[in-house]
Amino acid sequence: MYYHGGGFTYGDLDTHDGVCRVLCRHSGAHVLAVDCRLAPEHPFPAAVEDARAALRWAFANAQRLGADPGRVGVGGDSAGGNLAAVVSQLAARDGGPAPTLQLLIYPATDMSTRHRSRELFREGFLLTDGEMNWFEDNYLGTARTHAGDPRASPLLAEDLSGLAPAIVVTAAFDPLRDEGEAYAQALRGAGTPTTLRRFPGFIHGFINAAGVSRTARDALVEIAGVTRGMFFSTTVGSGPPP
């Protein structure tokens, strides 16, 4: 399951088709791309509801799609990484079934606090502070009433134990870097197996540059390889991915 980025306000199956194709080829896994409702027409929690419903559908239809229903993972980048983290938490608490892996690529994890990286890289690194404010206003409303809700800010969840093993990817010059890494540390602190990889020299959105940048493509291929290995290690007995 892959949820695309775009600040909860834009992006679709086409903007992330190349990313999903590389992940599919190099992870050895089927990739089911999901297109959730977007803000401001559909504010929080519409995207969360869609993401959770899509995961239920994936489990129910995995075998029909030629996939292994015992090995369903979730992934996403930026806003999609937020949704992947949130549905992992929800599925672990609401009766599931829960995913066996979560791939979180520079995820937004905390809309209640301005982490240091957001100040360090507020301008000049593609994703700006002004854009982030605009995304959050569209998604949560200008009052930010739900900023502290774990379904918007998964870092604020009271219990992060018992979740699927996680791969957390961050970029060195990304406003979201510190909150993504804080989430990785929180997962580890709760006993959830977590691999954290910070890519030096990259800015937010680098996986979408894989078609024009060799270094970005190499990074995405590496992420896919780690995903492949993690899928196997977390489902020993099912055999390696095809």
Q: For residue range 154-196, list pLDDT tens digits in order.
A: 999 999 999 999 999 999 999 999 999 999 999 999 999 999 9
Q: Which of 27, 78, 117, 153 is catalytic?
A: 78
Token pair 């834009």 in the structure block, residue: 10
| 238 pLDDT tier (thresholds 50, 70, 90) | very low
Q: pLDDT digit string (tens) for 10-26?
A: 999 999 999 999 999 99
Position 232 scores a pLDDT of 80
Residue 58 CA to residue 65 CA, distance in Å, equals 9
The predicted model gives 121-125 an average pLDDT of 97
Q: Which of 50, 149, 174, 178 is catalytic?
A: 174
As given in the structure block, the two tokens for residue 142 are 């200008």
Indicate the SS3 state at residue 240.
Answer: coil
Backbone angles phi, psi at 216, to 5 degrees: -65, -40
The predicted model gives 95-105 an average pLDDT of 97
Check pLDDT > 50 for residue 242. Answer: no
Give me the helix-helix angle, 17-27 and 214-233, nearest 10°: 50
Position 241 scores a pLDDT of 43
The predicted model gives 121-142 an average pLDDT of 97
Q: Are 176 and 107 in contact (CB under 8 A)?
A: yes
Residue 189 CA to residue 23 CA, distance in Å, equals 28
Check pLDDT > 70 for residue 97. Answer: yes
| 234 pLDDT tier (thresholds 50, 70, 90) | low
Catalytic site includes residue 78: yes
Position 237 scores a pLDDT of 41
The predicted model gives 58-70 an average pLDDT of 94
Backbone angles phi, psi at 35, to 5 degrees: -115, 105
Amino acid residing at 126: L
The predicted model gives 46-60 an average pLDDT of 98
| 235 pLDDT tier (thresholds 50, 70, 90) | low
Catalytic site includes residue 178: no
Catalytic site includes residue 129: no
User: What is the percent of the chain where pLDDT is above 70?
Assistant: 96
CB proximity list for 130: less than 8 A, separation 6 or greater: none
β-bridge partners, 59: none
Residue 102 CA to residue 165 CA, distance in Å, equals 6
| 233 pLDDT tier (thresholds 50, 70, 90) | confident
| 227 pLDDT tier (thresholds 50, 70, 90) | very high
